[in-house]
């Protein structure tokens, strides 16, 4: 009869609780049950802790949504429920033995009130719905004593070393024997007194703690971190079980197919977020990947991104993020070699660095192989930019540039640049030998003094040495009738050299530029060529 009642009760419990909460087996002609009690916490539930040895220390409060379950192990005797109650054990990692013992006594009381009737469901319902209220823990769980014992356990890990040090000090001390004996006697007296109090306390505790109450947590483990870790794990489990509406596609999906941003708690389906992340990573915008909700400042975590995208895409994300992070560090430069690109840490006030990967020593300014005290090589455009920067720089900026390039080098560069600019603006290159030539006077038919090549000053066209003026007589030429264009002519009377010169009439000097003055003579003496080899 009892066996049938036991079987019916277990079948009913199996239909009420899921497989995570309830399970049973039949061994040694007895039923053994395991039930995990998940407590229902209020929305503002928190646990508090502090080291009670620190009197002035304030308690720290941590809000949580879940506590680790209380495990109930039950064995049904053959004469249950007619004569004997179930044998049970309560196991918890956060309830101390005194509180667990109170629960054990309450379960015994419930059995006595309904003796001879199936009691398991009544026990389980009480533990699940009334435990916190019964223990006066409806809003706050105080773990001060548990936390203090954990701190003491940490300190005791180094106690052997402290004892050895103390022994060495005693060996080396010059305290006389009599004084040491007095201290030893005093120590023994206090030790005996402490032992008596300890034995008395243990005896009282032994009477108050129920053997069926098991505190299942090592003293050396951190109770605070244990509660926080379990709360996060349980939140994730509960999230996967519920349905949510994606804020992008507005579809209702299970939490296992969704992702949630922290701390804003906005939920989106994985399909939408994966597309969003792929676009951001492919565009290289890997920093501050924020929640897609409008004006939300929450950001996706690297772990969240790793769970959503492919390994190849996450590797790209990780690489770009690392590069972007290193770029913000002033003491990090990259190896200039294309096949390396390894991040290199630069020393303060150094002008070169050595790549730890490929051992390439390079200049920090021009990124070329380290050239010692020699200035960095630059092209013409870089020189022009440097000269402009140097001229417009503040005194502090000029000192920095002079420290990098050298003051004498910068001055020489300025002089050379000015010469190059003058040559560029006032000369043209021979179309044959490329020598720079200046035109100071004469017509536009030029003859190179280096290679004797005839060319046009206006269009740099090579001219036929047999008839160089044909270029200016040809109607199809762009320089037709322009052989004397640009010549300065003075129409003043040379015979009036002895006349007084009136300075006030200088502005009326009849000197003008001839736009078109045609002269087809073969006299080459009217043209002067100057070869500019070096300035």
519's CB contacts (< 8 A; 6+ apart) are: 443, 483, 484, 526
| CA Rg value for the chain | 48
In 3D space, the residue among 78, 79, 106 whose CA is nearest the CA of residue 90 turns out to be: 106
* Letter string b/e over residues 385-400, b meaning 16 or more CB atoms within 10 A of that residue's CB: ebbeebeeeeeeebee
Cis peptide before 349 (omega within 30 of 0): no
User: Cα(291)–Cα(271) distance, rounded to whole angstroms?
Assistant: 15
Burial-class residue 472 by CB neighbours within 10 Å (0-12, 13-18, 19+).
buried
In 3D space, the residue among 9, 37, 38 whose CA is nearest the CA of residue 24 turns out to be: 9
Please say whether the beta carbons of 298 and 291 come within 8 A: yes
3-state helix, strand, coil in the chain (%, to 5): 40, 20, 40
In 3D space, the residue among 199, 210, 95 whose CA is nearest the CA of residue 145 turns out to be: 95
Q: DSSP class of residue 506?
A: G
Which are the catalytic amino acids?
A: 443
Q: Which two tokens stand for residue 285?
A: 């915008």
Strands (E), 38-120: 46-49, 60-63, 70-76, 87-92
* Letter string b/e over residues 418-437, b meaning 16 or more CB atoms within 10 A of that residue's CB: eeeeebeeebbbbbeeebbb
User: Cα(334)–Cα(437) distance, rounded to whole angstroms?
Assistant: 46
Please say whether the beta carbons of 383 and 413 come within 8 A: yes
Partners of residue 48 on adjacent β-strands: 61, 142
- Report the 10 Å Cβ neighbour count for 277: 22
β-strand 352-354 against 487-490: which pairing, if any? unpaired
- In degrees and rounded to multiples of 5, residue 33 shows phi and psi of -115, 150
Burial-class residue 103 by CB neighbours within 10 Å (0-12, 13-18, 19+).
buried
User: Cα(153)–Cα(133) distance, rounded to whole angstroms?
Assistant: 31
Please say whether the beta carbons of 401 and 409 come within 8 A: no
């Amino acid at each position: 009869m009892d066996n049938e009642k036991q079987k019916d009760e277990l079948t009913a419990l199996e239909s009420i609780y899921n497989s995570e909460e309830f399970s049973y087996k039949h061994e040694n002609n007895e039923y053994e049950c395991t039930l995990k009690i998940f407590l229902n916490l209020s929305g503002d539930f928190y646990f508090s802790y502090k080291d009670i040895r620190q009197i002035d220390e304030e308690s720290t409060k941590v809000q949580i949504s879940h506590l680790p379950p209380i495990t109930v192990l039950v064995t049904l005797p053959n004469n249950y429920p007619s004569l004997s109650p179930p044998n049970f054990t309560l196991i918890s990692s956060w309830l101390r033995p005194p509180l667990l013992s109170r629960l054990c006594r309450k379960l015994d009381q419930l059995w006595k009130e309904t003796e001879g009737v199936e009691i398991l469901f009544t026990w389980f319902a009480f533990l699940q719905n009334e435990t916190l209220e019964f223990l006066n823990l409806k809003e706050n769980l105080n773990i001060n004593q548990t936390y203090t014992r954990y701190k003491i356990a940490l300190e005791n890990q180094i106690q052997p070393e402290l004892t050895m040090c103390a022994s060495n000090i005693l060996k080396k001390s010059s305290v006389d024997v009599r004084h040491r004996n007095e201290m030893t006697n005093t120590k023994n007296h206090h030790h005996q007194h402490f032992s008596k109090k300890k034995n008395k306390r243990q005896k009282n505790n032994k009477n108050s703690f129920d053997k069926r109450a098991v505190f299942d947590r090592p003293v050396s483990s951190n109770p605070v971190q244990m509660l926080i870790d379990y709360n996060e794990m349980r939140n994730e489990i509960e999230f996967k079980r519920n349905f949510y509406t994606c804020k992008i596609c507005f579809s209702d999906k299970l939490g296992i197919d969704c992702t949630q941003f922290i701390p804003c708690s906005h939920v989106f389906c994985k399909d939408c977020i994966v597309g969003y992340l792929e676009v951001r990573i492919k565009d290289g915008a890997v920093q501050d990947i924020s929640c897609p909700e409008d004006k939300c400042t929450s950001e996706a975590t690297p772990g969240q991104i790793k769970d959503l995208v492919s390994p190849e895409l996450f590797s790209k994300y990780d690489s770009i993020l690392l590069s972007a992070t290193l770029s913000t560090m002033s003491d990090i430069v990259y190896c200039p070699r294309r096949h390396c690109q390894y991040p290199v840490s630069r020393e303060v006030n150094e002008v070169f660095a050595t790549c730890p990967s490929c051992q390439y020593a390079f200049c920090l300014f021009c990124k070329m192989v380290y050239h010692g005290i020699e200035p960095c090589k630059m092209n013409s455009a870089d020189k022009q930019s440097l000269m402009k920067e140097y001229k417009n720089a503040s005194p502090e900026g000029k000192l920095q540039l002079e420290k990098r390039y050298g003051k004498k080098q910068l001055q020489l560069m300025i002089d050379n640049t000015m010469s190059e600019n003058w040559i560029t603006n006032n000369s043209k290159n021979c179309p044959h030998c490329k020598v720079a030539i200046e035109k100071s006077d004469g017509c536009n038919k030029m003859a190179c003094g280096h290679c004797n090549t005839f060319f046009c000053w206006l269009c740099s066209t090579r001219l036929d040495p047999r008839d160089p003026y044909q270029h200016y007589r040809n109607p199809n030429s762009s320089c037709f009738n322009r052989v004397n264009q640009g010549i300065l002519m003075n129409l003043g009377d040379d015979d009036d050299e002895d006349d007084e010169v009136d300075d006030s009439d200088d502005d009326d000097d009849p000197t003008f530029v001839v736009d078109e003055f045609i002269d087809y003579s073969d006299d080459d003496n009217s043209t002067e060529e100057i070869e500019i080899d070096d300035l």
